[in-house]
Amino acid sequence: MMIAVVRYNAGNVFSVECALRRLGAEFVVTDNESVLAKADRVIFPGVGEAAAAMHHLRATGLDRVIRSLTAPVLGICIGQQLMCRHSEEGDVDGLGIFDANVKRLIPPSPEFKVPHTGWDTVALTSPDGPVPTGLDGHYFYYVHSYAVPVCRHTAAVTEYCGTWSAAMRHDNFHAVQFHPEKSGADGSTLLSHFLAL
C-alpha cells in the first residue's frame, strides 16, 4: 500500500509522520500530482491559517488535485476545514468537497476559551465516518478556533461553544477536526482504521 501525506504550507506534518512510523506504515510526503493520484491512501493534515493555505493550494494546483482523488482521503484539523465550501477565517473559499461553511467558535461565557485547546470527547452520529464505533465517547486532542457546524456530512460531534462537526464523510473523503496523531492510542486506532478502509 502506498500512503501519501500532502505537502503544502501548513504545519504539523512531522507529527503525522511520527504517528505513521509508530504504526509501521510506509509513506511519502509529497506535493507531486502523479504520486498523489496513484496513492492508495492520502492524508491531508495541517495547522495554520485557512486563507494562506488555500492560496498555496491554488497557486500550486493542489486544490484541483485533491478534489480529483479517488482513493480514501483523510483531512486533519485545517485539512477538514479546507475541504469545506467556505471559511470565515480569512473569508476564503475552500475546496468545496463538503457542502458546509467553517465558522469561528464564539464563547458563550468567559470560562470558554478560544482557541479550543486540549482533550474533548467525540460522539458518533454515523457509523460510516472516520471514527471507529469503538471510539464513540473517547477523548481526542484539539487545537482550533474555527469549526464546521453540524451538517449532512457530519459523522461525529463535539460540544464546546456549541455543537459542531468533529468528523465528516463524503464519498471517499473523510475528515476530523481533532489531531489523531496527537491523541495517543485512540488516535493510532483511528489512523489504523483509515489505512484499512
Residues that are catalytic = 77, 179, 181
Return the bridge partners of 170, or none: 173
Which of 15, 192, 156, 177 lies closest to 83, judged by CA? 177
Strands (E) located in the chain? 3-6, 27-30, 41-44, 73-76, 84-87, 92-93, 98-104, 116-121, 123-124, 139-144, 146-147, 154-159, 163-170, 173-176
Q: Are 46 and 76 in contact (CB under 8 A)?
A: yes
Burial (CB count <10 Å: 0-12, 13-18, 19+), residue 42: buried
Give the chain's length. Answer: 197
